[in-house]
Structure 1
């Protein structure tokens, strides 16, 4: 656009889609008033259908043939291998090993080695962060649980790298492979975390092996997707220039593509590490070891104080791992560009640190007091203090929080839920399908019909509509927050500098931990689950909106100001329309982040599909219903994801928004 040109005229195609959508909703509500309560397919919360029992029968059959079924024998062998590896590492760093009464490498040696690794791969600042984190694990009384979590994460990340990097190279250098593998990556990343656990428990049992397998599967897609993208984005000009010298495929890969994609690959490692920590925490539901167990114990008895300290340590661990991998990425880039200085001094520091770490290992193997972390009551005092604070909040703010919860539930959640869940199932089916056609076109309609038929077949239609209601309401509030804070950040650099670090920190926190403060404020309820989902999903959506609005051309904005536009007109008529690609992407990610909290919300009274999955975990005879609920959540996720993707493609063709945002596939959430 030339300087001084008038601002772009945004077409009203987006508005035209809302007119038929509103007509569909009005017709739906009218039909609801005459047909409500009929053919709702409502199933009592503890009841099961023949389909659910048949699925349970499949599980029982596999378990009965565990000793003769080749697949079960294979998975048993893998489970035994993981179990032995974890047991050996536990005896090495935390658990007593018979006949030796203390760990083979005690807390001092482990802390020194971890600090040394932080120094080598990053900097002395990261080394201090690692040192403080490990000391906090012990001082707060959760050394063994923290080491267990780190062991699960370490094994899963190493296996993710070993398995994921070759696949990343494959999809980064082969377009057909990329198209095929991406389908499976989309499925894995659309699937809420808890859904992983049901089939894993069936094939690998409960405990350590299930925790490792679940964490590995959840952590694998980020490194494949991100590293593959980095390899694929290496300049074709560079590749052609080096090919002209006659290099082979392997020479091109190891001397050009991998070195040039180094930074992106380490970013993928960062995301994989955080995903592994998130899943390792949730694996406590299948008796996986680690910090998730005391958090789960506190949530089950509605004791925020008990859950607070291990929850805070999970956050600290996430920050430590995130900052360490990020700093390692930045340092590797500087080294590759020859930007390091004082090489001799750093070599001296590294050698000295290595000697100190070895001395610490020797001392921890020699003296019992340096092997077993001393017992402190600091964590207990903090838990008691938090419980007192929670009691004070309930006594003094219970009226405000309770009133807010009851008001929103009665006037917003319940009416919409009634239309969704109390309409005849075929009416809701038709209305949702028509809305998908309006917003996403024929492609979205086909996928929506397939997914809704799957939901109907799995005999959990009523619960699915309740979950859909909570998901849509939470996403609406997430986007409201994203618009307010995203635009504010984009228009004020100081606000961006102040808020962005908080958003970054929020995205490193595993979703399990978000329940703790929200539970303290609102108690167990459906509203609590919704608030936790909003807090979890908002950071990603806010950042996407902020970056999209910030990317609007300054020339376009100046042209609008020259016509005398007000600030409100500038935002609503120029910046938001020009950033609509980012808005749709933020909506897509917000939906999937919220949906990923469905089962976790079932722990604090959300009911519906989340409760069904938890119920399937807790009762062996209800495994089939839990599996059906997990598949239903996946179908809802695929449906919502494809509708927003299709809507993004339609919007891209409507007006002058930034099309380059859609040159690659929209990422599936919740990637970190």
Structure 2
């Protein structure tokens, strides 16, 4: 189908400009031809490639800023009392909770509340908020943390996550209410929330280290920035979704705006807000794991250490503990949203439940007392030890599996590298920077028009200014290859799910489970199969990006008008014709949106892949934390990643909007 650059209007002198103007497909083909010809002529010149240890003036300037920050902390009112005060409060809160729940509290050799008390408290809270099933799930999950050998790390990760979520609730829910009730607030805050969600998680780390240093404060603030947007957005959506008729009825009775909010909007939006809290919690857990790179306490540290030493067994066990925590938190918050709706309909708490809450609270208090009294109930027992034999078994199984499939994995890596990665990287990173600059601007214009082109121009100038243009093009290469794989897999599975209810019922829970897993964990099986290479980062990125893209496409296919489908079936179309000529074209907006979301997930995962040999910008972000002289280069890489992510997101969103209108 031929499309035009802008909405068709009658050109001066009459006639139909749409018929005379070549379609975007032809223009894109022309850009590709010019690009390839330019690459063939100028290949290897003006690529702006620099050595791994080389630093530009911008990198040295960022290093000097870091040194200036270190000096400024000593005598600056802002750093000493504002930033220092925030950091001190967060550090004191996290440290106090760790002394209370997970780490020895001097002079005690054990925490203030031992493991039995911690298990009892959290199980009772789960029962109070989400019901008996969730309480049993929390109980089993907490015991598994100890049996796997990661009790302290698990509780530390839970503490960082819950502290960040609590701060998100304090900030995010009022922000969402403000956005729902004020268009100006929405106009001001939406771009900020967009930037917070678009920035790959790695990009948060280096700037916050400058402000808060390395430790719990940086981990909590990083997690807060990443987890706040979904809570604020979903809260605003829930408040806006309250029926206008209900609000008018309340207003006609003389209630004030505050009373309407307190007695009508918040109760009716309660379930939606708790869904936002669920998304906030999962985002916080994901980011708190990655924050281990800046010395954030928790399970991220053993995972990162195991990945760096290629210890697949221990990486798997600690990764399993993270997955268990993700599932427990996800299911508990989901159950809490459902219970909130039931409680609203009932209008009160049944007597049997009140008795259960009181009895459970008494049992929890007794367990806390006993855990303070007996050392065996304060320090998690060493037996049964499930972690050590599981790690050994996983290591043995992985070694055997790698030996068995090494030929297949090597061949797959070689084919993908030879057919896709190497040629595309040669085009992107081997072309002169000015040629790639113009090509990317042309693609942005043809995909979305002038606005994304202007955004792309700013982002490309930022990337150019960081001095890491060549590394950014390498990252863009792996991002494009992984995104293409995500779209292909999501199309096949999504179309199947959209056309087959049984397939949807069988596959969707698997996709939900994969979507629950924090991105850090995806590196473990990918590293086990493919070793430390850039292909490992691509495999992990595909696994991370497929679930959300697949569900969007499935929903888009199912949303196609049944009348159109029946009309096409009556005309004798085959199944393939139905898919290619009816359902996919009519679900094009959903496909483009799925591509956008898949691309953003892929970009964040490809960057994390710098931990396992992914190269590109992610490598320098990681190196910036481990090597002091490369801090400026790592911070510049984070800036370049952010610019690349914003550019890709804006272009994809404008393209989705354009195709959706058509």
Instruction: Report the Cα offset of residue 345 of structure 1.
Output: 2.3
Q: What's the counterpart of residue 433 of structure 2?
A: 425
Residue in 2 aligned with 1:468?
Answer: 476
2:12 is equivalent to residue 19 of structure 1? no
Q: Does 1:442 align with 2:460?
A: no
1:386 and 2:394 are equivalent in the alignment: yes
- Please give the residue correspondences for 1:253-272 in structure 2 after superposition, counting only pairs within 5 Å: 253-272=261-280
Q: Match of 1:291?
A: 299
Counterpart residue number, 2:630: 622
2:322 pairs with 1:314: yes
- Give unmatched runs, 5+ long, in structure 1: 1-9, 655-672
Task: Give the C-alpha shift of residue 233 in structure 1.
Answer: 2.2
Asked if the contact 1:334–1:340 (Cα under 8 Å) also holds between the matched residues in 2, the reply is no
User: Residue 519 of structure 1 contacts residue 528 of structure 1 at CA under 8 Å; is this kept in 2?
Assistant: yes
- In structure 2, how many angstroms separate the alpha carbons of the residues matched to 1:292 and 1:64? 30
Q: Which residue is equivalent to 1:632?
A: 640
Cross-structure match for 2:286: 278
The CA deviation at 1:339 is 8.4
1:188 matched to which residue of 2?
196
Q: 1:185-244: per-residue Cα shift (whole Å, max 9, x none)?
A: 011111111111111111111112211111112111111111111112222222222211
| Superposition deviation, residue 141 in structure 1 | 0.9
Q: Does structure 1 conserve the Cα–Cα contact (< 8 Å) formed by 2:180 and 2:240?
A: yes
SS at match of 2:74: coil
Deviations 1:446-486 (A, max 9, x none): 11111111111111110111111111111111011111000
Q: Is the 8 A contact 1:305 1:385 kept in 2?
A: yes
* Structure 2 alignment gaps of length 5 or more: 6-21
Q: Provide the residue aligned with 1:111 in structure 2.
A: 119
CA shift digits 1:64-105 (9 cap, x unpaired): 121112221121222122112212111111212122222211
Corresponding residue for 2:258?
A: 250
Contact 2:433 / 2:469 at 8 angstroms: preserved in 1? yes
TM-score for the superposition, normalised by structure 1: 0.94
Alpha-carbon offset, residue 348 of structure 1: 2.4
* Structure 2 residue 659 is the aligned partner of structure 1 residue 647: no
2:45 to 38, 41, 58: 38
Give the Cα–Cα distance (whole angstroms) in 2 for the partners of residues 90 and 58 of structure 1.
Answer: 33
SS at match of 1:52: helix
Higher relative contact order (CA 8 A, sep 6+): 1
In 2, the alpha carbon distance for the partners of 1:105 and 1:115 equals 15
Q: Does 1:301 align with 2:309?
A: yes
Q: Select 1:526's aligned residue among 534, 548, 551.
A: 534
Taking the TM superposition and a 5 Å limit, the aligned residue runs for 1:172-183 are: 172-183=180-191
Provide the aligned C-alpha RMSD in A.
Answer: 1.5
Task: Determine if contact 1:599/1:614 at 8 Å carries over to the other structure.
Answer: no
Tell me what 1:667 maps to.
none
Residue 357 of structure 1 and its aligned partner are, at CA, apart by 1.4
Cross-structure match for 1:408: 416
1:581–1:648: 8 Å Cα contact kept in structure 2?
Answer: yes
Deviation at 1:344, TM superposition (A): 2.4
Alignment of 1:551-566 (within 5 A): 551-566=559-574
> Which residue of the other structure, out of 380, 385, 392, is the alignment partner of 1:373?
380
Q: Aligned partners of 2:347 and 2:71: how far apart in 1?
A: 61
Conserved? CA contact 1:55–1:624, under 8 Å: yes
Contact 2:47 / 2:429 at 8 angstroms: preserved in 1?
yes
Kindly tell me: are residues 254 and 339 of structure 1, through their superposed partners in 2, closer, same or farther at Cα, counting changes over 3 Å?
A: closer
Q: Which residue of structure 1 lines up, in the alignment, with residue 11 of structure 2? A: none
State the partner residue of 2:506.
498
Return the TM-score normalized by structure 2: 0.95
Aligned 1:206-245 pairs, distance under 5 A: 206-245=214-253
Q: Which residue of 1 aligns with 2:172?
A: 164
Q: CA deviation at 1:257?
A: 1.2
2:19 corresponds in structure 1 to: none
Matched, 1:62 2:89: no
By how many angstroms is 1:652 displaced? 2.3
Partner secondary structure for residue 104 of structure 1: coil
What SS does the corresponding residue of 1:597 show, helix, strand or coil?
A: helix
Measured after TM superposition, the shift of residue 333 of structure 1 is: 0.6
